[in-house]
Structures are given as C-alpha cells and as structure tokens.
Amino acid sequence: MRHFRLLVVGNGVSAYGSYLNMVALNVFIYEVTDSALAAGLFMAVRLMTSVVSGFVSGRLVSAYDRKRLMVGADLTQCLAMVALLIAPEAGRAGLLYVLAVVTGFCSTLSGVALRSSIPEIVGGELRVRANSLLATGRSLAMIAGFASAGLIVAQLGYTAAISLDAASFAVSACVLLALPIRTKAARASESGEDEAGRERPPRSGSLVLLRAAPVLAVMIAVRAADGLGSSSHNVALPVYSSALDPSHPATFVSQFWATWAIGNIVMQQLCGRLWTGRDGRQGPGERAFAVGACVMSAAFIVVFAGLPTVVAVAAALIAGMADGLTEIAYVSRLQAAPDEQRGRLFGLSASVENTGFGLGMLVSGALLDHFRPLQVVGLLHGLAIALCLAMFVVLVRYGRERAAAPPRDVPSVESEAR
C-alpha cells in the first residue's frame, strides 16, 4: 500500500488540476469569445467526448499497458495546456475546443485505466481500502480545486491557473513513472490457460458480459439514473439558493457542498476501514449499493423540500455519506470481474454515467423553466429510487436462482458476486 499511497497523492494532484480547469477554462472561454453559447458548447464538447471515449477507453485498457496509458494521458493534457499558453490570442478560441476533446478523452481514459488496475496494484483483498483512499483524495482535490479556482484567476490571472493545471498533470505523470507497480494481471500462457492451469474466459464485448451478469447490468443502469439525478440537483441548486436568499444566493450552495463533501469523505474512510478484506468480505456489496443509492436520492429530494436550513444541511450530510457508500460499493463490485473483462466494464460505465449526467443537464434545464426545483429533483431522483427497487427484485431473483442451481466453477463477471 505504500506505493499506492504515493499514487493517490499523484492522482489527487492531477484531479486538482482537472477541477481547477473546469472552472478556469469555462470562465476563460466566455471571456475570449464573449458568448454564453460558446461556453456552453465547450462544456458540451467535453462531455460528449467523455461519453464516446468510455467505449474506446475500455478497449485500450484491455489491450495495452495501463500504466503507460495513464502516463500518456497526463502528459497529453499537460502539453495541451502548454499549447494553449503559447498560442497567439487570435487562435485561442478554436484551440479551446480542441482542448475540450483532449481533456475529455484523456480524463476518461485515465480514470478507466486506474480503476481497472487497482486489484492488480494492491491485491483484490485490499481493493476496498484502496478505493476509499483514492476517492478521498479526489474529493479533497475537488474541494481544493473549486475553492481556489476563483481566487487564483482573480489574483493571478488565467495564465497562472492554466500553468498550475499543466504542472499538476506533469507531477502525476512523474509519480506514475517512478512507481514500480503492475497494472495488469500476469500474462496467461499461449495454451489458453492461466498460470494456475484454469481455462481463461473468452474476451467478450460489454453487452455480452452484461447479459451474463444481470446484477451488474442493473447496477450500471442505476448509475445512469444517478447521473440524471445528480445533474438535476446541480442545475436546481443555484435556482433554489437564489430563491431562499436573493441577496446572498451563494450562501446555501456553499453550505450544501461543504456539508456534502464532509459526509462523502467520512463514509469513504469508514468503508475503507470496515471492509479491508481481512475477514473475507470484499466490499459493501450490491444490496448496500442499492440501499445507499435510495438513501442518497431521497436525501437530495429532502434538501429541496423547503425545510429549515438545519434540516436541509443535515440531509446534505446524509446524501454525501450515501454517495460515498455507493461509490465504493459500485467500483469494488466492478473490480471483482476478471482482469480481461474489467476494462470494458469500466469503459461502459464511464460512458453510461456521462450520458446520464449530460442528458439530465438538458432535461433539468428545460424543466426548471416551468416547474419548481423540488418537482424537477423529485422526478429525476425518483427515477433512481424506482430503479433501485427494481434492483432489489433482481437481487432476490438472482439469489434464488443461484441457490437452486448446482454448484459450478465458471470464471465470469458473476463469479465473485456477493
């Protein structure tokens, strides 16, 4: 775990740069073009690239060395930032859209590669602890990135913000290069058997894998619905906060995200300590994921119910804790799949989650013109709750089928289901 902790630091530095540029570049493109449409198009291009690159990333991390892919993704983003800095002002507007494609693709590729690699880096029994450390590092990076972006841009300017962003990717690449880690399972023999002499499962497409693993299919569908719900409260939060206190519209937004972050980090650490693999448990499991997703969506709905601020903030804390639980349970469950299937599953998951979030942004924005924030958030988060209930049905049915079926030893995505 010593090497992995250094990797967490490097990844956190890289994540800080990513969250910093989410704020700085969005404001920068508006200043360069003086067009809200151009700024919106920049965000749309980046999001669409992330959706498409999920499928491509799954294939890449299954076929190539993941450490090299992560280093290449970091260095590519670093060079893209440097290119933006040295480009003449007249050509910066067009280059920003190229940058949106580069950062969207590279961030997705790096995320899929890293999540797929964790069981090989630390061992399957420690993957929950590793996921909690990684998630905590990224959460802290998100807080630092969003909190410092406005200050850095206001006090030091865009050049300093973009330079800091480029440096963060360079640091992450250097850390990865220096660490002696293995990110893929040992190569199997040419005879079609692994090192233990067992027959290797055939490589399959994502949809084939999901047909063989209905529980994973439902979990991924729930994550897509979570993306819809997440976009709804992200879009509705400024509207709701402005209605609460028109003279200080940012107050409730700040309270909400600060409290949510605290709950998220606390639960991530609890998961890492409760499920260390020493007692044979491999993570919170599918049922904990479903419960966490239901509680998270219900808590987000309560936030917009017009209750006293203390109650709303408490609901935000619960939502953050439930979000942390579902994240650890979900990632750890996908990592239970064999190494050769893991990359495609995480690639598909990235595309599905980004699709849900992007679609939710469009739907939420349109609905908020006609309905109150509570109604919009209730509708989209209610969909996630409905899917979680469907997941319970699938879990019960699958559990009964498994109990009735004769024992068999088939290496597949379901072989480590809990």
Helices (H), 64-126: 66-86, 92-122
Indicate whether 294 and 369 sit together in one domain.
yes
**Residue-wise DSSP of 131-166:** HHHHHHHHHHHHHHHHHHHHHHHHHH-HHHHHHHHH
Cα gap 182→271, rounded to integer Å:
25
Indicate whether 348 and 233 sit together in one domain.
yes
* Domain-terminating residue out of 163, 178, 193: 178
pTM: 0.83
Indicate whether 366 and 245 sit together in one domain.
yes
Cα gap 222→294, rounded to integer Å:
10
Which candidate, 19, 33, 57, 253, places its Cα nearest to that of 144?
19
Inside any domain, residue 355: yes
Which candidate, 155, 171, 156, places its Cα nearest to that of 78?
171
Inside any domain, residue 195: no
Indicate whether 238 and 160 sit together in one domain.
no
Inside any domain, residue 296: yes
The 8-class DSSP code of residue 23 comes to H
Inside any domain, residue 81: yes
Q: pLDDT per position in the chain (418 positions), as tens?
A: 677 889 999 999 998 988 887 778 877 887 777 776 777 788 888 888 988 898 899 889 988 899 999 999 999 999 999 998 888 876 777 888 898 899 999 999 999 999 999 989 888 788 888 898 998 998 888 888 877 887 888 888 888 888 999 999 999 999 999 988 888 876 543 444 444 444 344 455 566 666 656 778 888 888 998 988 898 888 888 888 888 888 777 778 888 888 998 999 999 888 887 766 544 456 677 888 888 999 999 999 999 998 898 999 999 999 999 999 999 999 988 988 888 888 888 999 999 999 998 888 888 888 888 899 999 999 999 988 988 888 777 777 766 666 565 554 434 444 444 4
| CB proximity list for 211: less than 8 A, separation 6 or greater | 217
Inside any domain, residue 19: yes
The CATH number of the domain holding residue 314 is: 1.20.1250.20
Domain that holds residue 276: 206-403
Indicate whether 255 and 352 sit together in one domain.
yes
Which candidate, 322, 300, 320, 302, places its Cα nearest to that of 311?
302
Number of compact structural domains in the chain: 2
Lookup: tokens for 9: 């630091």
Inside any domain, residue 126: yes
Indicate whether 150 and 94 sit together in one domain.
yes
